[in-house]
Amino acid sequence: MLRAFKRAYLSLVKFLEASLSLISDSEIDSLAGLLESVYRDGKRVFVVGVGRSGLVGRAFAMRLMHLGFSAYVVGETITPSARAGDVLVAISGSGRTAAVVATAEVAKSLGVKVVALTSYPDSLLAKIADMVVVIPGRTKVSKEDRWEVRQLLGLHEPLAPLGTQFELVSQVVLDSLISELMDRLGLEEEDLKEQHANVEV
């Protein structure tokens, strides 16, 4: 019973643990430093991603808000205009997701600093970005790289699909980055709780 479930679970945990040695300390340090300066300078962070990468981005934006950042998800109705000095965190495993690349191009034209989280440092997104954080996970790009088209065509990858490892590692990287920012900014869990939503049941 549950052989596929346990095999997938253990595979993902093993990959997650192994991925730490593949993540560049200098890239993470640079991103943490950039976000720390954004916080101290009163600039804003915008996050963009499509599909499950978008969900990872939304979780990251929420945690940044809990830290006291002005953080927004691109495409939401309350997202303000971006200005020079703000930061866009763009998440795409392939680095070729059309909507993410287009958003990065627009942000760059506005003087926004673009950070790419991708498995492909030679991708179009990475070439646009001012800073790249390489996230291990995708071993190849799907034949159809547009997420929305894959969904419409019913093209679903096999067990632990291609994007799963990227999204899982991205989530853990960004959550760990929140802990790093808490340390750098001298914040405690109680500080985050003060920013947590309270107009809810």
Amino acid (1-letter code) at residue 78? I
Please return the burial class of 147, using the count of CB atoms within 10 Å of its CB with bins 0-12, 13-18 and 19+: buried
Q: Give the Cα separation of 43 and 30 in Å (integer).
A: 17
Spatial contact of 186 and 57, defined as CB atoms under 8 Å apart: no
Per DSSP, helices labelled H in the chain are 3-19, 25-41, 52-67, 98-109, 124-128, 147-153, 162-185, 189-195
Residue positions annotated with a catalytic role: 167
Interacting residues of 170 by C-beta distance below 8 A, sequence separation 6+: 53, 56, 91, 117, 135, 137
Residue 88: both structure tokens together: 């866009």
Q: Give the Cα separation of 56 and 172 in Å (integer).
A: 9
